[in-house]
């Protein structure tokens, strides 16, 4: 009887190794969205002022974001960053920006425990001045997007190319 008892305990574990099983399915990631800069391409002349919008599309349940953009400060100069209407149209927000040598940090969150926004809209408006002839990208170097449960929302990013002639 001890032999039968041992087989009952050991055999299911061995069969699990020998027989194929259905793999565990990972649940899909949070609904994806796209963060992008518009215009995607821009050609200007030196000393010309221009704006670039940080936008979101196809995003669901967005509560807050933190974006760091990098660029060549010898070719373009940041003048101002203002909050876009996408979040502020929903309610009160926390909006913070910080410029360092060649980066811009933008943090924004909807205030209120259950507030979030979905769809498409402008998150921030960046005003620049072209300094001299050349070409630079404004690129996403870091992005974090969060939902109301503070879970990361998967996003695709699209940069912007600025040329000055």
Residue 160 pLDDT exceeds 90: no
Over residues 112-122, the mean pLDDT reads 92
pLDDT for 95 beyond 90: yes
Share of the chain above pLDDT 70, in %: 81
164 pLDDT more than 90: no
- For residue 4, the SS3 value is helix
Polymer length in residues for the chain: 165
Residue 84 C-alpha from the chain's centroid: 16
Contact 77, 131 (CB under 8 A): yes
Interatomic CA distance for residues 47 and 161, integer angstroms: 17
Q: What backbone phi and psi angles, to 5 degrees, belong to 86?
A: -60, -50
Residue 38: the pLDDT is: 93
pTM above 0.85, yes or no: no
DSSP code of 19?
A: S
| Rounded mean pLDDT, 22-32 | 46
Q: What digits encode the pLDDT tens for the residues 122-155?
A: 999 999 999 999 999 999 999 999 999 999 988 8
Is residue 111 left, alpha or beta, with left meaning phi > 0 and alpha meaning psi from -120 to 50?
A: beta
**Cβ(127)–Cβ(49) below 8 Å:** yes
54-85 pLDDT, tens per residue? Answer: 999 999 999 999 999 999 999 999 999 999 99
């Amino acid at each position: 009887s001890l032999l039968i008892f041992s087989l009952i305990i050991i055999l299911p574990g061995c069969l699990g190794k020998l027989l194929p099983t259905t793999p565990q399915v990972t649940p899909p990631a949070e609904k994806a969205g796209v963060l992008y800069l518009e215009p995607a391409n821009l050609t200007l002349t030196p000393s010309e002022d221009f704006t670039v919008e940080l936008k979101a599309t196809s995003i669901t349940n967005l509560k807050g974001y933190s974006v760091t953009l990098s660029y060549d400060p010898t070719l373009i100069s940041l003048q101002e960053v203002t909050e876009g209407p996408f979040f502020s149209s929903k309610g009160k927000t926390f909006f913070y920006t910080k410029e360092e040598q060649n980066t811009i940090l933008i943090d924004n969150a909807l205030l209120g425990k259950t507030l979030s926004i979905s769809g498409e809209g402008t998150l921030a408006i960046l005003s620049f001045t072209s300094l001299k002839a050349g070409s630079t990208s404004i690129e996403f170097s870091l992005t974090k997007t969060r939902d109301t449960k503070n879970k990361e929302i998967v996003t695709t990013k699209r940069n912007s190319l600025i040329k000055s002639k």
